[in-house]
Amino acid sequence: MDRPLRVAIVGSGPSGMYAADALISQTETPVSVDVIDKLPVPFGLVRYGVAPDHLSIRSVRDTLDKVFDKPGVRFVGNVEVGSDISVGKLHGFFDAIVFTYGASRDRRLGIPGEELDGSVAATDLVAWYCGHPEADRETFERLIPSTTTAVVVGVGNVAVDVTRVLAKTLDELTHTDMPEYVFDTLRESSITDIHVLGRRGPAQATYTTKELRELGELLDADILVDPTDLVFDAASEQVIAGDKAVARNVEVVKEWATRIPSGKSRRIHLHFMARPVELRGDARVREVLVERTKLDGSGGAEGTGEIFVIPADLVVRSVGYRGQALPGVPFDESRNVIPHLDGRVQNANHEVIGEYVAGWIKRGPTGIIGTNKKDAVASVASLLADASKLPTAPFATPDDFDAWLAEAGVHAVSNEGWRAIDAAERALGATHGRDRTTISTNHDLLRAANLICD
């Protein structure tokens, strides 16, 4: 091949950026990479999933951003594969495609009443307070000021993040890059109690110790744990003995169970051995029926039939993410991932030539941000091993792709456009005494990228 290998990466979250870096950093095969994202801005869940008050974790995007400084890597934002351009058409411009668009949809509880107003997904709430362009502002700006008691279902880091943001004072959040509309809504919050439900015991919870501890360090929120909820069977004790992180988590919760409420204006009630079985209300959720559970000896839990009721105006389900199918790409509906073998996309056990996958849409929503690096490097290794036998795309130059997008009327955001957005957000933040304020609408993002005018 007398030109660099042209690779499209669909999705600009951590796995996509790590894949781009792995491709461009090797020297054996010359490569040109376009990182395509449906949003005008890159970095996926690092921008729109990591809690805004976790500045150290969100700073990962500064590291990812450096990939765009490397020759041969382009950002192509505001281009939705499957809508603006089909996967089949994309093959005409690229020799290989790597799907790294993640798993951003929520999992359902599957209980009666889940459709009631006031029953929401943590993914949607997080998108709202992170300033996602597609966030449902109306819903949360209506619900939060009219909520007294919230129930958060789940005991992973996202559930902890949601609980913490809802329980913090405004002063504890003003250093973040959240949009102004979020501050305006949280200023009107009437929430006094947040109940967090975990269907199993403290040894089975999936949060990390750092995130967990923060719940007990808030300025104006007491944390309450019923000692009778701290249930440990033989399997739990074995996990605690063999996993230092779990042991630390358990010690944190045990200490909380000894605390006496100090009279703070908000309270976080952490419940273990409890699962919601029904939401009840009128047009809006008003109460949650919760069943007490018991450990089954193998790491799971089963119902006991004992029910208690928590009055609630807001229920946030945080029980995991799931991937979505992309038109024209094989998809495993049972696992919500793209089927693969060593990162090579498979269709009915046959390899799809020129298509690869990395990240959550490859393996499911597991691991931390850094887990995606090793995963992406492995998929890129498969792609590079196949480089000599990949079919040659007929229109494989950046100019060809750009010309097609322009003719199709797509306002694609380039590296320069993203840099302009980044500068605009920093300038906006400076007006509020912050490092950055997130620009939250597609229109304003494209305007900041100098692609449209008012």
Pick from 273, 292, 316: which residue ends a domain? 316
User: What is the biggest distance separating any 2 CA atoms in the chain, rounded to whole angstroms?
Assistant: 72
Q: What number is the average pLDDT over the span 97-120?
A: 94
Residue 99 and residue 113 share a domain: no
Task: Identify the pLDDT of residue 367.
Answer: 82
Percent of the chain whose predicted confidence (pLDDT) is above 90: 91
Kindly report the CATH number assigned to the domain that includes residue 356: 3.40.50.720
Q: What is the mean pLDDT of the chain?
A: 95
CA-nearest of 8, 177, 22, 25 to 101 is: 8
DSSP string covering 283-350? SBEEEEEEEEEEE-SSS-EEEEEEEEEEE-SEEEE-S-EE----TTS--BTTTTB--EETTEEEETTE
**104 has pLDDT over 90:** no
**157 has pLDDT over 80:** yes
**245 has pLDDT over 90:** yes
Taking a C-beta distance cutoff of 8 angstroms, is the pair 36, 10 a contact? yes
Residue 392 and residue 278 share a domain: no
**341 has pLDDT over 80:** yes
DSSP string covering 34-53? EEE-SSSS--HHHHHTS-TT
Which of 129-133, 171-175, 229-233, 276-280 is the least confident region? 229-233
Residue 370 and residue 285 share a domain: no
Task: Identify the pLDDT of residue 185.
Answer: 98
Residue 268 binned pLDDT confidence (cut-offs 50, 70, 90): very high
**1 has pLDDT over 80:** no
Residue 284 and residue 383 share a domain: no
Residue 79 and residue 215 share a domain: no
Residue 355 and residue 219 share a domain: no
Residue 89 and residue 229 share a domain: no
Alpha-carbon span 309 to 63, nearest angstrom: 46
**215 has pLDDT over 80:** yes
Domain-located, residue 241: yes
Pick from 267, 297, 316: which residue ends a domain? 316
Other CB atoms closer than 10 Å to residue 247's CB: what's the count?
A: 15
Kindly report the CATH number assigned to the domain that includes residue 128: 3.50.50.60
Task: Identify the pLDDT of residue 2.
Answer: 81
Residue 309 and residue 213 share a domain: yes
Residue 29 and residue 9 share a domain: yes
Percent of the chain whose predicted confidence (pLDDT) is above 70: 100
Residue 138 and residue 128 share a domain: yes
Written as six digits, the tokens of 259 are: 């605390």
Task: Identify the pLDDT of residue 199.
Answer: 96
Domain-located, residue 285: yes
Residue 105 binned pLDDT confidence (cut-offs 50, 70, 90): confident
Q: Tell me how far the alpha carbon of residue 12 is from its chain's centroid.
A: 13
Domain-located, residue 15: yes
Residue 301 and residue 188 share a domain: yes
Radius of gyration of the chain (CA): 23
Task: Identify the pLDDT of residue 125.
Answer: 97
Task: Identify the pLDDT of residue 163.
Answer: 98
Domain-located, residue 436: no
Other CB atoms closer than 10 Å to residue 201's CB: what's the count?
A: 25
User: What's this model's pTM, rounded to 2 decimal places?
Assistant: 0.94
**414 has pLDDT over 90:** yes
Residue 179 and residue 89 share a domain: no
Task: Identify the pLDDT of residue 433.
Answer: 93
Residue 212 binned pLDDT confidence (cut-offs 50, 70, 90): very high
Domain-located, residue 424: no
CA-nearest of 342, 329, 442, 431 to 97 is: 329
Expressed as residue numbers, the domain containing 209 is 106-316
Tally the domains of the chain. 2
Could you report the per-residue pLDDT of 122-143, keeping only the tens digit for each? 999 999 999 999 999 999 999 9
Taking a C-beta distance cutoff of 8 angstroms, is the pair 85, 387 a contact? no
Q: Is the dihedral of CA 212, 217, 222, 225 positive or negative?
A: positive
